[in-house]
Amino acid sequence: MTLKDYGWSHSFSSQLTHDELETLIPCRVVAVHRSGIVVTDADAEYHVALGSNWYSDAPQTRPTVGDWLLLNAAKDKVVRLLERKTLLKRLAAGLVAEVQLIAANIDTIFIVTSCNEEFNASRLERFLAIAGDSGAHAVVVLTKMDLAADAEEFVDRIRVISASVPVELVNALDASTLEGTRAWCEAGQTVALIGSSGVGKSTLVNALAGRVLQLTGGIREDDAHGRHTTTSRSLHRLEGGALLLDVPGMRELGLASLEHGVSELFNDIESLTLRCRFSDCAHHSEPGCAVKAALESGALDDRRFRNYQKMLREEVRNTATIAERHQAARAFGKQIRNSMKIKQSRRPGPD
């Protein structure tokens, strides 16, 4: 096993200085726990505690699953976090607005949904926006095709959302349907699976791995939703050499700092807005509104447009809230440092 087997590439090695190459140990984060992180140098895994300094800044500066780090020679301290090539994130669930890192340096994101009542177009758009902002390549994987009377109908519904995103239609219990999905799992590539609970992610992980990596749960009969089974994020090596990351099911997908992802997903709507007669058109009753004309003709789906507006408002609001919190935290930190300087200046000097 070498670092290359875990996704090490020139984009990471080129970030190291000559001294760092000689004295530090490159490792990849394979799991994150409250007590610290688990990393591998391709020979073994190590648990490394994170010092308090890692929690004094924004969450984006902390290691997450998939990150590449430099450890000291003793392999018990993180010296530096290497620059990421991709970053998958969302707004953390809860009352406090804060960005939550999901995974870093992902090559392909499988957005998993299923061919039943669990399929939700607006939620899928959220997943696509998050994936699009990450910099990784997105693929929609439709599971449970064997349970649908017409599985192709769900493919058509995805095409309304995005005409270009690749779609794989699978039955995770039938290996013959997984060939297209396996093609994305090349040696040295890192693939993350995201989606709501119960859409078949854990079953798909086990099928791709050829062994049980995650427990699976059944579907609740009352609403066709699945039971949550994956409880943590960790990287698993597949026999073919790919690295697979199953993310716990996410029903709350808060958006923040995802302007690029939203714009990319809804580029057709944003192109329409440029054709409106007025640059500040609200798309209600203004004359010469290209968006309103597209809605009336059926060229633009009303649900999709309303979801675009909702996501855009949410992204702007949450991003502003996070910026305000960070500004307040920096101001408070500056106040504490100034107070300490004043106290030190008032201390009597030595006789």
User: Is the pLDDT assigned to residue 324 strictly greater than 90?
Assistant: no
Distance from C-alpha of 175 to C-alpha of 173, rounded to nearest angstrom = 6
The helix or strand, by DSSP H or E, that contains position 79, with its residue range, turns out to be: strand 78-81
**How far is 28 from 321, CA to CA, in rounded Å?**
32
Between these two residues, 170 and 201, which has the higher pLDDT value? 170
Check if the beta carbon of residue 196 is closer than 8 Å to that of residue 118: yes
For residue range 12-52, list pLDDT tens digits in order: 999 999 999 999 999 999 998 888 899 999 999 999 998 88
347: pLDDT confidence band, cut at 50, 70 and 90? low
Q: Say whether pLDDT at 282 is over 70.
A: yes
SS3 321: helix
Q: Is the confidence at residue 340, as pLDDT, over 80?
A: no
- Average pLDDT of the residues in 153-178: 93
What pLDDT score does 168 carry? 96
* DSSP calls for 81-149: EPPPS-EEEEEPSSSS--EEEEEES-SEEEEEEESSTT--HHHHHHHHHHHHHHTSEEEEEEE-GGG-S
Which helix H or strand E contains 26, and what residues bound it?
A: strand 25-33
Percent of the chain with pLDDT over 70: 80
pLDDT of residue 260: 74
* pLDDT grade for 105, boundaries at 50, 70 and 90: very high
pLDDT above 70: residue 10: yes
pLDDT at 96 over 70: no
Whether the per-residue pLDDT at 162 is higher than 50: the answer is yes
- SS3 percent helix, strand, coil of the chain, rounded to 5, is 35, 20, 45
Give 236-262 pLDDT, tens digit per residue: 888 889 999 877 755 555 666 666 778
Please determine, for residue 325, whether its predicted confidence score (pLDDT) is greater than 90.
Answer: no
Q: 77: how many CB neighbours lie within 10 A of its CB?
A: 14
The pLDDT of residue 234: 78
Lowest mean pLDDT among 106-120, 206-220, 286-300: 206-220
User: Which pLDDT does position 275 carry in this prediction?
Assistant: 94
The radius of gyration of the chain from alpha carbons, rounded to an integer in Å, stands at 23
CA–CA dist 93, 107 (Å, integer): 25
Does position 351 have pLDDT exceeding 80, yes or no? no
pLDDT of residue 343: 57
Q: Is the pLDDT of residue 63 over 80?
A: yes
Name all domains of the chain by residue range, CATH numbers in brackets.
3-83 (2.30.30.140), 90-246 (3.40.50.300)
pLDDT class of 89 with cuts at 50, 70, 90: confident
Query: Residue 225's pLDDT is what?
Result: 45
Predicted local distance difference test score (pLDDT) of residue 70: 97
Kindly indicate the confidence band of residue 196, based on its pLDDT and cuts at 50, 70 and 90.
confident
Supply the pLDDT for residue 285: 85
Q: What is the mean pLDDT of the chain?
A: 84
The pLDDT of residue 42:
93
